[in-house]
């Protein structure tokens, strides 16, 4: 299959491909999604096949508004308060499903994950296609998420019908996923919307229980966000990075601007990228996946990544780094 590169003015073509059962990657404010008509079992099955995604890991269904969400899921007052405050935006709600979404997209569960993306092209595509769009991140399963159209081509060229090019994603990490079916809201995946913001509307947001048995988010079982070389996460500061470089002299480094200033001159020829200034979690999130992709191209022995503070979106950045490190610890 030849994958078409579509410009924003080709939006009608992208919508046409979707409604006829094809697969279109499109930009959102978080990362690029791989979209299919959420009502169509066969199209949704194609998303799992193109990504190599395990069938037991359900997809997020994108909608154009809270009203459309009401058609496919049950929104109680708390859910309506959350959508009223944060949609369109990087918040995904797991809710009790009504009919209308393929059970393939829900991985057979009685719940469905829904979100309204805050991106003009994504919203225009949803309106023009006129259907909910099931869309996980547009990467091969287990890989870092794509934050630009070239990233999507690197992952899925020849496996999907088209990529709608909307430039680089503003937030750079995936949406925050919460389970809103229980008495308390539970955080299933930290993401672009800080937990603290959700708590202002919904009260305490609980962490998923560590009880044995089924994890509440099926995706937590799977390998995630890993580049093709091992990732080592170290404490903040130049000392920890230098110690890791001593053990892995052929490694590349992903660190803050401040740490880079201390170590770059000490080690000539070091391949290093920065994730912004210390304390700037927004820049770290925006640069994270692109930087991991760029560094893996040099085929270093490892990528040494400096930790960032876990407040606001920094929690999501550290979650992705730890999962990338855990995946490389078992795979390499
Ligand atoms: P992705 O589409 O790759 O950004 O991942 C979506 C995340 O939402 C995964 O971690 C899924 O396991 C999670 N998710 C989607 N639907 C549900 C659901 N019905 N219940 C719990 N978690 C879900
Ligand atoms: Mg993903």
Confidence label for 213 from pLDDT (cuts 50, 70 and 90): low
Ligand sitting nearest the alpha carbon of 222: 1
Q: Is 116 in the pocket of ligand 1 (CB under 6 A)?
A: no
Residues 184 and 50 placed together within one structural domain of the fold:
yes
**Is 113's C-beta closer than 6 angstroms to any atom of ligand 1?**
yes
Facing residues of 232 across strands?
Answer: 304
Ligand 1 in reach of 35 Cβ (< 6 A): no
The confidence band for 328, taking pLDDT boundaries of 50, 70 and 90, is confident
Mean pLDDT of 129-148: 98
Nearest atom in ligand 1 to the alpha carbon of residue 106 is 19
Which residue has its alpha carbon closest to ligand 1 atom 10? Answer: 219
Per the CB < 8 A criterion, the answer to whether 115 and 131 are in contact is no
Give me the number of domains the chain comprises: 2
Place of tokens 């959102």: 28
In this prediction, residue 269 carries a pLDDT of 87
In-domain check, residue 209: no
Give the H or E element holding residue 258.
Answer: helix 257-263
pLDDT > 70 in the chain, percent: 96
Residues 182, 55, single domain; the answer is yes
Which of 184, 202, 220 finishes a domain? 202
Mutate to test the pocket of ligand 1, among 31, 54, 94 (most ligand atoms within 8 A of CB): 94
- Domain extent for 324: 231-331
Q: Is residue 99 in a domain?
A: yes
State whether 172 and 252 are in the same domain: no
Task: Examine the domain organization and report whether 298 and 179 are in the same domain.
Answer: no
pLDDT tens for 79-110 read 999 999 999 999 999 999 999 999 999 999 99
- CA-to-CA distance for 170 and 31, rounded, in angstroms? 8
Does the structure show a pLDDT above 50 at 139?
yes
Query: Within this chain, do residues 314 and 277 fall inside the same structural domain, yes or no?
Result: yes
Please indicate, yes or no, if residue 50 is contained in any of the structural domains: yes
Reported as a pLDDT band with limits 50, 70 and 90, residue 223 is: confident
Q: Could you tell me if 147 and 270 lie in one domain? A: no
CB 78 within 8 A of CB 101: no
CATH number of the domain within which 297 lies: 3.40.50.11030
> How confident is the model at residue 215, as a pLDDT?
54
Tell me, using a 6 A CB cutoff, whether residue 149 lines ligand 1.
no
Residues 36 and 85 in one domain: yes
CB of 103 closer than 6 angstroms to any ligand 1 atom: no
Ligand 2 centroid distance, CA of 136 (Å): 5
- Of 117, 94, 88, the residue nearest 107 (C-alpha): 94
Say yes or no: 114 and 252 in one domain.
no
| Residues 132 and 241 both lie in one domain | no
Say if 73 falls within a structural domain.
yes
Q: Are residues 44 and 178 in the same domain?
A: yes
| Whole-number Å distance between alpha carbons of 284 and 265 | 22
Question: Which residues lie near ion ligand 2 (Cβ < 5 Å)?
Answer: 137
Reply yes or no on whether the pLDDT at 332 is more than 50: no
Q: What is the pLDDT of residue 4?
A: 98
Is residue 211 predicted with pLDDT exceeding 80? no
Do 146 and 241 lie in one domain? The reply is: no
Please state the atom number of ligand 1 nearest to the C-alpha of residue 219. 12
Residues 139 and 246 in one domain: no
State the pTM of this model: 0.95
Q: How far is the CA of 34 from the centre of ligand 1 (A)?
A: 14
Q: Is residue 264 part of a domain?
A: yes
Q: Which atom of ligand 1 is nearest to the CA of 92?
A: 8
Judge whether residue 225 has pLDDT over 90.
no
Among 113, 147, 175, name the best residue to mutate to test ligand 1's pocket (greatest count of ligand atoms within 8 A of Cβ): 113
Instruction: Give the rounded percent of residues in the chain with a pLDDT score beyond 90.
Output: 90
For the domain that residue 21 is a member of, what is the CATH number? 3.90.870.10
Q: Is residue 284 part of a domain?
A: yes
Q: Which atom of ligand 1 is nearest to the CA of 31?
A: 4
Is the pLDDT at 220 greater than 90? The verdict is no
pLDDT interval class at 210 (50, 70, 90): low
Q: In which element (H, E) is residue 5 found?
A: strand 4-6
**At 216, is the pLDDT very low, low, confident or very high (cuts 50, 70, 90)?**
low
CB contact set of 268 (below 8 Å; sequence gap of 6+): none
| Cβ 215 under 6 angstroms from ligand 1 | no
Task: Determine, yes or no, domain membership for 160.
Answer: yes
Ligand nearest, relative to CA of residue 60: 1
Quote the mean pLDDT of the chain.
95
Residue 269 counted as domain residue? yes
**Confidence check: pLDDT of 267 > 90:** no
Mean per-residue pLDDT, 180-187: 96
Centre of ligand 1 to C-alpha 33, Å, is 13
d(CA 96, CA 70): 10
Whether 214 has a pLDDT exceeding 70, the answer reads no
Dist. CA 31–CA 151, nearest whole Å: 10
Residue 183: CB atoms within 10 Å: 6
SS3 14: helix
pLDDT tens-digit map of 160-175:
999 999 999 999 999 9
Element (H, E) at 95: strand 91-96
């Amino acid at each position: 299959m030849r994958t078409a590169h579509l410009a924003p003015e080709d939006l009608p073509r992208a919508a046409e491909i979707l409604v006829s059962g094809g697969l279109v990657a499109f930009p959102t404010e978080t990362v690029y999604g791989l979209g299919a008509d959420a009502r169509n079992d066969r199209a949704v099955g194609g998303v799992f096949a193109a990504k190599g995604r395990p069938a037991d890991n359900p997809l997020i269904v994108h909608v154009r508004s809270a009203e459309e969400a009401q058609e496919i899921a049950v929104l109680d007052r708390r859910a309506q308060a959350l959508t009223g405050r944060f949609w369109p935006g990087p918040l995904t709600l797991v809710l009790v499903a009504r009919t209308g979404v393929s059970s393939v997209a829900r991985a057979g569960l009685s719940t469905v994950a829904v979100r309204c993306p805050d991106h003009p092209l994504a919203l225009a595509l949803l309106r023009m296609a006129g259907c909910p769009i099931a869309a996980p991140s547009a990467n091969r399963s287990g890989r870092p998420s794509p934050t630009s159209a070239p990233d999507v081509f690197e992952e899925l060229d020849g496996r999907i019908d088209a990529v709608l090019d909307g430039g680089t994603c503003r937030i750079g990490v995936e949406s925050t996923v919460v389970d809103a079916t229980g008495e308390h809201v539970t955080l299933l995946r930290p993401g672009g919307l800080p937990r603290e913001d959700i708590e202002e509307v919904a009260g305490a947001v609980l962490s998923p229980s560590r009880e044995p048995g089924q994890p509440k988010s099926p995706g937590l079982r799977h390998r995630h966000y890993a580049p093709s070389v091992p990732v080592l996460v170290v404490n903040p500061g130049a000392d920890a990075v230098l110690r890791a470089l001593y053990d892995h002299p052929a490694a590349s480094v992903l660190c803050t601007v401040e740490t880079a200033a201390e170590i770059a001159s000490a080690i000539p020829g070091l391949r290093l990228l920065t994730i912004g200034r210390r304390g700037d979690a927004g820049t770290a999130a925006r640069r994270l996946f692109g930087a991991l992709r760029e560094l893996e191209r040099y085929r270093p022995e490892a990528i040494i990544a400096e930790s960032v503070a876990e407040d606001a979106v920094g929690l999501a950045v550290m979650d992705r780094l730890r999962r990338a490190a855990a995946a490389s610890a078992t795979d390499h």
